[in-house]
Amino acid sequence: MPWVTDIHPTTEELNACVQCGLCLPVCPTFRLTGRETASPRGRLHAMSAVHQGLVEVDEAFASILDFCLGCRACEPVCPGLVPYGRALEGARAEIVEQVPGRGNRRRWLLGAGLGSRSLMGAATTAVSLAQRLGLTRLAPGRLRRLASGMRKLSARPPATVGHTGGSGDAGTIALLAGCIQDQWFGGVNHTAIELLERAGHRVTVPVTQTCCGALAAHDGKAAEARRLAERNVRALGSADLVVATAAGCSAHLIGYGHWADGGQAMASKTVDVTVAVARAIEEGRLPRLRGTRGPIAVQDPCHLRHGQRVVDEPRMILRAAGYEVVEIDDAALCCGAAGIYTVLQPEASERLGNQKAAQVRSTGVSRVSSANPGCEMQLRSHLGSDYVVRHPIEWYAMAVDEEFAG
C-alpha cells in the first residue's frame, strides 16, 4: 500500500462504496464538469486505486482530490453511508506528505496565521487599514475577490475570548470563538453570547481554546489538526454544551472523535449555534416575535446541511423572528467558498459563486441568511453591495431589538 500516514483512507471506508453513482448529481464539481474524475465515486475510486497499489500518490491523484470542495453533499444521499469527508481528510494528508509541490502550497496558505491569535490580530489590523485606504481594490484578482466579501473591520475588533457571563439556569455553554469568526465576524459571536445568556445559559469563552483545526484537517495537516483538537478538548470539554458559531467549526468539532482522546465525549455534546438558539426558542427561553418582517433568502452552508444535517433550525429561527423564509436552491449546491478553495481553485469557485448569486437574485430578495463566515464572504463578494448577508441569529437578534425597542 503506498500510503504513508496513519490516517489514510481505510479498507472499510473504501469498500463501503458500492459504486451506485447516486452521489454524482449532488456533487458541485461533477455538475460543473461532467467528469467522473470530479465526482465522489470517482475520487473514492482513485483512492481505491492507490489503496490497492495500482497508482501512486502523485500529481494526477492530487489534482483529482484537490478539485474536491469537501462540501460533503455526497454523504446524505449515499446508501452505503460512505464517510466521504473522513476519507478525503486521509487522502489529503497523504498528498501533503507525498506530493511536495502540492503540500507546500497548502502549508504556505494556511501558514502560521490561523490558530495564532496575535497573527490573526495583526492581519486584521492590516486588512482594516487597507479597507479604509481603499487598497483592497489594488490586490491581485483572487485576493480582491476575497476582500470584497469581507465585513468592514475595525482595527481592533472587540474579541469575545475571555468572556464569562449569564445565570446558568439552562446549563453552561463553552463557546468556540473561531479564529476567523472572532476577528472578522465578531458580531456573530457577540450576538450568540447575548442570546444564549438571555436564554438562561452561563456562557464562557475560555482563553485556552484555539483554532478548531478544520482547515488543517481538510488540507491534510494531520499532526496540526490533532494538536489543536486536543487543546480544545481540554479548554472546552467540561461545559454542559459546546457551541460554535461558524458551521465549518461546529461540523469539525462534531468529528473530534477522529482527532483527540476524549474527542468523542465532547463531540456528543457539541452543537452549532443555530441548534442551540432554535432549541431555546422551542422551549420558550427565547421569544417568538409577532410582527412580520418580510422575506429573507436562506443559503445552507454545506457544513451545516450536509455535514450536520441541520436544515430546519436556521429556518425556524428566521420564522420565529417574523421573516418569511425564501428557498434558493433545493439541492443546496456548494457556493464555492469551501475554505481555501477560493484561492486554490479560483475558476471553479468563481463559477459556483456566480451560480449561487444568480439563484439568490432570481428570488428578488435582497436580504440573505448564511450561517458560515466563508459562505457569507463568498455571497457578499458575488452579490455586491445591494444585498445584505447576515447570520440567521443576527437577523433574529435584530428583530428582537426592533420589537422590544418599539
Partner 1 sequence: MSLLAELRAVLGREDVLEEPVELYVYSKDASLMRGEATAVVFPQDSAEVAEIVRVAERHGVPIVARGAGTGLAAGASPTEGGIVLSTTAMTSLEIDPENRTAWVGAGVINLDLSKAAEPFGLHFAPDPSSQSACTIGGNVANNSGGPHCLAEGSTTSHVLGLEVVLAGGEVVTLGGDAPDTPGLDLKGVIVGSEGTLGIVTRALVRLLPIEPDVRTLLMDFPDMEGAARTVSQVIAAGLVPAALELMDQRMTVAVENWLHAGLPIDSAAVLLAEVVGETVGVESQAQLIADIGRANRAKKVQIAADAAERDLLWKGRKSAFGAIAQLAPDYYLHDAVVPRTKLVETMTAVYDIADKYDLTMLNVFHAGDGNLHPLIAFDASDPEVNRRVHQAGDEIVAICLKNGGALSGEHGIGVEKRDLMRTSFSELDLDAQARLKDVFDPGRVFNPNKILPEGSRCFDFGGVRREIPDGAWV
Q: Which does 73 bind (CB under 5 to 8 A by kind): ligand FAD, partner 1, ligand SF4, none?
A: ligand SF4
The smaller minimum CB distance to partner 1, of residues 20 and 138, is found at 20
User: 74-93: b or e for each residue (b if 16 or more CB lie within 10 Å)?
Assistant: bbebbeeebbbbbbbbbbbb
Of 6, 222, 252, 211, which is closest to residue 113 (Cα–Cα)?
211
Q: Cell numbers 470539554 label which residue? A: 237
Could you tell me which stretch among 14-22, 95-103, 284-292, 375-383 binds ligand FAD (CB under 6 A)? 14-22
Write the interaction track for partner 1 spanning residues 11-30; mark x where CB under 8 A is met and - where it is not.
----x--xxxxxxxx-----
- Report the residue from 2, 80, 262, 295 that binds partner 1 according to the rule CB under 8 A: 80
DSSP, residue by residue, 351-384: HHHHHHHHHHHHHT--EEE-SSHHHHHHHHHHH-
20 touches ligand FAD by CB under 6 A: yes
Name which of ligand FAD, partner 1, ligand SF4, none residue 32 binds, using a CB cut-off of 5 to 8 Å depending on partner kind: none
Q: Applying CB under 6 A, which residues contact ligand SF4? A: 17-23, 27-29, 40-41, 43-44, 68-74, 77-80, 82, 84
Residue 339 phi/psi, 5-degree rounding, is 65, -125
For residue 237, CA distances in Å to 250, 263, 404 come to 14, 8, 35
> Residue 20 or 135: which CB sits closer to ligand FAD?
20
Please list the residues that pair with 164 across neighbouring strands. 204
All three cell numbers of 213: 483545526
Find the part of the chain contacting ligand FAD (CB under 6 A) among 1-9, 16-24, 223-231, 395-403.
16-24
Q: How far apart are CA 54 and CA 12, in angstroms?
A: 18
Q: Which residues bind ligand FAD (CB under 6 A)?
A: 20-22
By CB under 8 A, name the binding residues for partner 1: 15, 18-25, 34-37, 41-42, 45-46, 49, 54-55, 58, 60-61, 64, 77, 79-81
